């Protein structure tokens, strides 16, 4: 049965464009459109769509206000339609926190060489989101630990669809004194990774930032790979000592994504060996599987999110099927599981 979709946007041109793109797929049925959030709420009651695409900036009632109402009164998968403006990137991260499954950058409305790519991305994300598990962030208490004499480790996290919501159940719960640096690859465009880092920094004891070239790997730091940049680490000599730094590059996409978790993990494993911890969270695709295998080959530990708590059980499932993991962990137990590995 086709996925019933309601398209919400204040622009008539954008409503038509999105409807035409989605309607071109036989597995999707655009059953209606709405011109603002208030109109959307009425149409949801009337049409009962399986999924809603929701613009952020609209008159009368904007996307965030409409999303709150949808999640309160008639929860269902929502894909946000966002521009690449700073205010939209912040609002998009907030929307993901409120329960939206995913987002896509708004097409320009002009005929362009990448329109086919945008169309396919929209169709794919709508199909995946239609079967996603809904999750809303709830503030958790920090789990404090004493780490006297603990060996310095590195946690390499890979995630995609559902990642921002999922990370908010992990990073803010970890104490600021952990003997590890955390690297995160979240499949997300430029600007949005910075907004996500700022959001996590505002609710965490750990210091969270979007990674920059030559940032030093230090305990208590969380670095998020910038959108459209691969992130690796490199060990360099500094006087009589050695230090590990972040290297960013825009080499070819791997598995269709940049940043890529495999690339990050491949650089971490030979340097940190048994002190490397790989963590593969919710997301579609299989990025992170090869990285998990390499971390295991060097003696490191790999944790994966379980199916029940994953918004999209794609990346974790791939790791499990490949057998390159140590433990499958439910999301609410993930912070404690990580702390237990750090204490070893």
Q: Which residues are catalytic?
A: 160, 187, 287
Residue 241 is classified by DSSP as E
Helices (H), the chain: 12-23, 37-47, 63-73, 86-98, 115-129, 163-167, 192-202, 261-272, 289-297, 315-322, 334-342
- The helix (H) or strand (E) run that includes residue 159 is strand 153-159
Q: What are the backbone dihedrals phi and psi of residue 78, each rounded to the nearest 5 degrees, phi first?
A: -130, 135
Query: Cα dihedral angle (331, 293, 231, 272), rounded to 10 degrees?
Result: 90
DSSP 103: E
Which of 342, 339, 56 lies closest to 173, judged by CA?
Answer: 339
Segment (H or E) for 156: strand 153-159
Q: What is the DSSP pairing of strand 230-238 with strand 241-249?
A: antiparallel
* Residue 331 three-state SS: helix
94 within 8 A of 64, measured Cβ to Cβ: yes
Q: Where are the alpha helices (DSSP H) in 154-204?
A: 163-167, 192-202
**CA pair distance 293, 154, nearest whole angstrom:** 16
Enumerate the β-bridge partners of residue 3.
Answer: 28
What burial class does residue 298 get, using C-beta atoms within 10 Å of its C-beta: 0-12 exposed, 13-18 middle, 19+ buried?
Answer: middle
Question: How many residues are there in the chain?
Answer: 344
Give the strands of the sheet with 51-55, arranged side by side. 28-34, 3-8, 51-55, 78-82, 102-105
User: 208 and 180 in contact (C-beta within 8 Å)?
Assistant: no
């Amino acid at each position: 049965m086709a996925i019933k979709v309601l398209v919400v946007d204040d622009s008539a041109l954008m409503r038509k464009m999105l409807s035409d793109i989605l309607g071109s797929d036989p597995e999707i049925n655009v059953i209606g459109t709405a011109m603002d959030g208030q109109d959307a709420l009425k149409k949801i009651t009337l049409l009962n769509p399986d999924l809603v695409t929701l613009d952020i900036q609209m008159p009368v009632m904007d996307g965030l206000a409409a999303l709150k109402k949808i999640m309160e009164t008639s929860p269902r998968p929502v894909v946000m339609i966002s521009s690449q403006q700073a205010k939209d990137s912040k609002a998009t991260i907030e929307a993901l926190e409120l329960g939206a499954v995913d987002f896509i950058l708004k097409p320009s409305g002009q005929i362009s060489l990448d329109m086919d790519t945008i169309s396919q991305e929209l169709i794919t994300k709508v199909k995946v989101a239609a079967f996603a598990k809904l999750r809303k962030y709830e503030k958790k208490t920090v789990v404090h630990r004493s780490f006297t004499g603990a060996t310095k480790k590195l946690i390499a996290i890979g995630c995609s669809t559902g990642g921002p919501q999922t990370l908010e159940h992990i990073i803010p719960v970890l104490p600021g004194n952990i003997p590890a640096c955390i690297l995160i690859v979240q499949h997300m465009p430029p600007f949005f990774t910075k907004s996500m880092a700022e959001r996590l920094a505002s609710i965490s004891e750990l210091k969270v930032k979007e990674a920059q070239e030559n940032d030093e790997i230090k305990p208590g730091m969380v670095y998020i790979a910038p959108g459209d940049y691969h992130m690796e680490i490199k060990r360099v000599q500094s006087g009589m000592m050695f230090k590990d730094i972040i290297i960013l590059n825009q080499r070819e996409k791997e598995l269709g994504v940049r940043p890529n978790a495999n690339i990050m993990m491949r650089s971490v494993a030979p340097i940190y060996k048994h002190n490397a911890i790989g963590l593969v969270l919710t997301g579609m695709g299989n990025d992170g599987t090869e990285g998990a295998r390499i971390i295991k080959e060097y003696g490191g530990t790999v944790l994966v999110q379980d199916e029940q708590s994953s918004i999209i059980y794609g990346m974790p499932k791939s790791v499990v099927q490949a057998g390159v993991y140590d433990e499958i962990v439910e999301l609410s137990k993930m912070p404690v599981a990580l702390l237990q590995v750090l204490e070893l």
